[in-house]
């Protein structure tokens, strides 16, 4: 065992088999660094903006993203994993209608970014249309 100080070259971390460096390729302090959560949020914002452009009624709905659904599902949600949830307006409490999209269940089901976009489109469209009392086909004929 050597007592010599470690040099910069010795401190480079490599994977188990010495084939490459460990860790992220883009450090977090650089502007191009995006977490999965931030990227997912951007996809939801893009989808909501595109739907508001088609149907201005969507602007009355508040949209949010959570990582996972709550651990106490409603009785009608016990048979399947919840991908999103819509909450109607409550005028007595001053609450607007809300749609919450759950990130992890959608990411785990999607095999590609294209599939993830389609799933986000589907859940946002379905929940929003239900809250507005419309059919998804009335808003997006290709649905």
- Residue 86, pLDDT above cutoff 70: yes
Task: Output the pLDDT for position 84.
Answer: 94
pLDDT value at residue 115: 97
- Count the neighbouring beta carbons within 10 Å of the beta carbon of residue 125: 22
More confident call, 71 vs 51: 51
pLDDT mean across residues, the chain:
84
Average pLDDT of span 101-118: 96
Residue of 51, 8, 40 lying closest to 108 (CA atoms)? 40
The helices-and-strands tally (H runs, E runs) of the chain is: 4, 3
**pLDDT at position 80, please?**
78
Domain 36-68+81-139 bears CATH identifier 3.30.2010.20: yes
d(CA 104, CA 36): 10
What pLDDT is recorded for position 45? 97
Q: Residues 12-24: pLDDT tens digits?
A: 555 666 666 666 6
Q: What is the mean pLDDT of residues 122-134?
A: 95
Residues comprising the chain, all counted: 143
CA-nearest of 69, 59, 31, 38 to 128 is: 59
Q: State pLDDT tens for residues 54-70.
A: 999 999 999 999 999 88
Which residues are 138's β-sheet partners? none
Predicted confidence at residue 72, as pLDDT, reads 75
Q: What is the pLDDT of residue 15?
A: 60
């Amino acid at each position: 065992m050597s007592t010599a100080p470690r040099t910069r070259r010795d401190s480079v971390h490599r994977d188990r088999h010495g084939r490459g460096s460990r860790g992220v390729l883009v450090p977090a302090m650089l502007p191009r660094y995006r977490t999965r959560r931030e990227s997912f949020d951007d996809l939801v914002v893009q989808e909501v903006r595109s739907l508001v452009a088609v149907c201005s009624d969507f602007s009355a709905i508040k949209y949010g993203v959570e990582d996972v659904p709550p651990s106490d599902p409603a009785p009608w949600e016990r048979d399947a994993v919840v991908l999103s949830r819509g909450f109607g307006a409550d005028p007595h409490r001053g609450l607007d209608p809300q749609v919450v999209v759950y990130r992890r269940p959608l990411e785990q089901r999607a095999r590609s970014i294209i599939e993830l976009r389609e799933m986000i489109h589907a859940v946002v469209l379905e929940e929003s249309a239900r809250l507005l009392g419309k059919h998804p086909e009335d808003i997006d004929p290709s649905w």
